């Protein structure tokens, strides 16, 4: 089969399209013929080993998992002997981030537990765009933010992959949503359902006096003090993406600041699971959330797709078609 291979850390130039053996599913795995995959920020972080922590987790001198790509949608080709929920011919989607990646290939073997039936109303590309970004948004809002109907929620980075889903999911759960994005993306964020949209090139949300019950930091950089200032007395900030400085502030200072008073400062790591995929499937089939796809690339152009995502200007998701 054809796959995009990463044998060393570096720029997108290290990625090569090569022929490799088709994987054989283990007892609890499903072999999927991939029809579409999605590019995420994690792909370029793994490719570049940036931050250095990546080397400690995924290979000190070279990638432990040379085929990148976590999100995919495709058709079940074969199943392991212990698989109960799927059979050949089923259409599925899922996220491989917790189990070795491998989506930038014609076939991938995935544990049954990270797959779910593909939403019936979505194309392959749309389905592939969902698992990691929408799952991150769902877990940030529901698990970490304890979102409730009527809450005032701010999404910083509302036009990105996670942000576009976060706006829609927060609205579906009854929140009053403010999206923060650049000038050219404001209309798209409004179309997703945001009640208010702030152009960060013209206004600093942390300086306008408005306070929020829940803030998701999905990209860019704002110091932790800025988020703290924009929170209500019992508000919650959840860091889900952005600059490394933002991540380390949330990890190192967040717990200390949370102990000082009613405000909570958190960071999170999305965990793949079938239960959340089924929740998202229900929301997608009900029309409550819709994937936003910016660009599509063929498998051989994965390096260009990753370059584009790394630039940080994508409106929604970038997908790979096979």
Q: Where do the H-state alpha helices sit in the chain? A: 41-48, 53-58, 124-128, 131-138, 161-172, 186-191, 224-230, 244-252, 254-260, 274-285, 302-311
Asked if residue 41 and residue 124 are part of one domain, the reply reads yes
Classify residue 222 by burial, with Cβ atoms within 10 Å: 0-12, 13-18, 19+: buried
Classify residue 58 by burial, with Cβ atoms within 10 Å: 0-12, 13-18, 19+: middle
Give the pLDDT confidence of 165-182 residue by residue, as tens digits. 999 999 999 999 999 999
Asked if residue 263 and residue 137 are part of one domain, the reply reads yes
How confident is the model at residue 73, as a pLDDT?
98
What is the Cα–Cα distance from 92 to 128, expressed in whole angstroms? 9
Give the domain CATH number at 81. Answer: 3.90.180.10
**260 found inside a domain:** yes
**118 found inside a domain:** yes
**148 found inside a domain:** yes
204: confidence class by pLDDT, cuts 50, 70, 90: very high
Asked if residue 122 and residue 56 are part of one domain, the reply reads yes
In this structure, how many other beta carbons lie within 10 angstroms of the beta carbon of residue 299?
20
- The more confident residue out of 55 and 297 is 297
Is the entire prediction scored with pTM above 0.75? yes
Which sign does the torsion angle of CA 269, 275, 278, 280 carry?
Answer: negative
Write out the residue range of the structural domain in which residue 112 sits.
Answer: 2-130+291-321
Asked if residue 100 and residue 65 are part of one domain, the reply reads yes
Instruction: Name, in order, each residue with C-beta under 8 angstroms of 169's C-beta and a sequence gap of 6 or more.
Output: 134, 137, 138, 141, 283, 289
Give the pLDDT confidence of 284-313 residue by residue, as tens digits. 999 999 999 999 999 999 999 999 999 888
Provide the token pair at 59: 């290979």
Check pLDDT > 70 for residue 256. no
How confident is the model at residue 306, as a pLDDT?
96
Give the domain CATH number at 137. Answer: 3.40.50.720
Domain count, the chain: 2
By residue count, the chain amounts to 322
Mean pLDDT, rounded, for 273-277: 97
How confident is the model at residue 254, as a pLDDT?
46
**275 found inside a domain:** no
**283 found inside a domain:** no
Q: 31 pairs with which residues across the strands? A: 78, 109
Give the pLDDT confidence of 67-103 residue by residue, as tens digits. 999 999 999 999 999 999 999 999 999 999 999 999 9
How confident is the model at residue 247, as a pLDDT?
58
Provide the token pair at 234: 């019992």
């Amino acid at each position: 089969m054809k796959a995009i291979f990463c044998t060393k850390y570096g720029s997108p130039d290290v990625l090569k399209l090569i022929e490799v053996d088709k994987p054989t599913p283990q007892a609890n795995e499903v072999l999927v013929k991939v029809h579409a995959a999605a590019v995420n920020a994690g792909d370029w972080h793994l490719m570049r080993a940036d931050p250095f922590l990546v080397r400690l987790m995924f290979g000190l001198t070279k990638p432990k998992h040379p085929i990148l790509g976590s999100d995919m949608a495709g058709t079940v080709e074969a199943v392991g002997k212990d698989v109960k929920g799927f059979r050949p011919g089923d259409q599925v989607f899922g996220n491989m981030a917790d189990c070795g990646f491998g989506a930038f290939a014609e076939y991938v073997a995935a544990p049954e537990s990270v797959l779910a039936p593909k939403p019936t109303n979505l194309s392959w590309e749309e389905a592939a765009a969902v698992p990691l970004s929408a799952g991150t948004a769902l877990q940030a809002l529901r698990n970490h933010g304890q979102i409730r109907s009527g809450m005032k929620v701010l999404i910083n980075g509302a036009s990105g992959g996670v942000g576009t889903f976060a706006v829609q999911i927060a609205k579906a759960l009854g929140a009053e949503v403010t999206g923060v994005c650049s000038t050219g993306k404001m209309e798209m964020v409004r179309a997703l359902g945001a009640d208010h949209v702030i152009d960060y090139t013209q206004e600093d949300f942390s300086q306008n006096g408005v306070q929020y019950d829940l803030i998701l930091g999905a990209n860019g950089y704002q110091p932790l003090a800025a988020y703290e200032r924009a929170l209500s007395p019992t508000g919650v900030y959840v860091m889900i993406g952005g600059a490394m400085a933002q991540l380390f502030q949330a990890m190192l200072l967040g717990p200390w600041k949370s102990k000082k008073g009613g405000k909570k400062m958190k960071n999170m790591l999305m965990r793949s699971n079938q239960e959340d995929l089924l929740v998202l499937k229900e929301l997608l089939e009900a029309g409550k959330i819709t994937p936003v796809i910016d660009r599509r690339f063929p498998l051989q152009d994965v390096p260009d797709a990753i370059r584009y995502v790394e630039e940080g200007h994508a409106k929604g998701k970038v997908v790979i078609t096979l």
